[in-house]
Amino acid sequence: MNFEAIRAIYLFEMARFFRTLAQSLISPVLSTSLYFVVFGAAIGSRIQEVEGVSYGAFIVPGLIMLSVITQAISNASFGIYFPKFIGTVYELLSAPVNFLEIVAGYVGAAATKALIIGVIILVTSFFFVDVSIAHPFAMTAFLVLTCLSFALLGFIIGIWAGSFEQLQLVPLLIVTPLVFLGGSFYSISMLPPVWQTISMFNPVVYLISGFRWAFFGTADVSIGISLMAITLFTGLCLGAIWLIFRTGWRIRQ
């Protein structure tokens, strides 16, 4: 394993993150703060509690997941797409670096960026609502796994995308609606039975449910099933990336 190559790619991507702090960090944190104000204050004044938790606190895990997922995807997809767009990816492919080291560098940096944003949003939430974390180790594990898995998905999207417009296609039209419909701002148990069944086909439900369990000890889905779902999703993404590098799809073609 060429750790020097991983370090070089990782530091390069992190340097880009710190050069654009207003766009990369401040913007998502401010956007999430607005959610706290609108949903926590305006709607929370009418919905006192959900499953024994104040509504303002109840939406915290969902808001963190929303930000972490979108940021992990966008950072990873742009990170690999831009070298492909300007042609420098061929220099990387011709270097003595295997695909695992390339993925570790880009995905590791994207996951780190999303993790930083998630932690800052969590800290910010304490200024708006009274939040308690029942299982801090489980919360950390879910947060890290989510950052990694969706950074892997973003890496796949970056390789697939043929234009800057396509980079936004999957996050805007598929991922964001799935997060909003995955119980970010409500409990699945509040839905009619038929919609509860339909929601179980939304993979994001398992992530948000497991993450919320780590905060409040309550979940719409068993914690074991949530862990299995995110592990399976991570494995599928790794398998897809291995196949991409094996065949050269959208990289050497």
48-62, 203-217, 219-233: least confidently modelled range: 48-62
Residue 40 has a pLDDT of 63
| SS percent in the chain: helix, strand, coil, step 5 | 75, 0, 20
Rounded to whole angstroms, the Cα distance separating 107 from 112 reads: 8
> Could you tell me the pLDDT band of residue 167, with boundaries at 50, 70 and 90?
confident
Residue 217's SS3 state is coil
Residue 131 has a pLDDT of 86
Q: What is the pLDDT of residues 84-133, one digit of tens each?
A: 888 888 888 788 888 889 999 999 999 999 999 999 999 988 888 888 89
> pLDDT at residue 174 above 60?
yes
10-14, 48-52, 71-75, 240-244: least confidently modelled range: 48-52
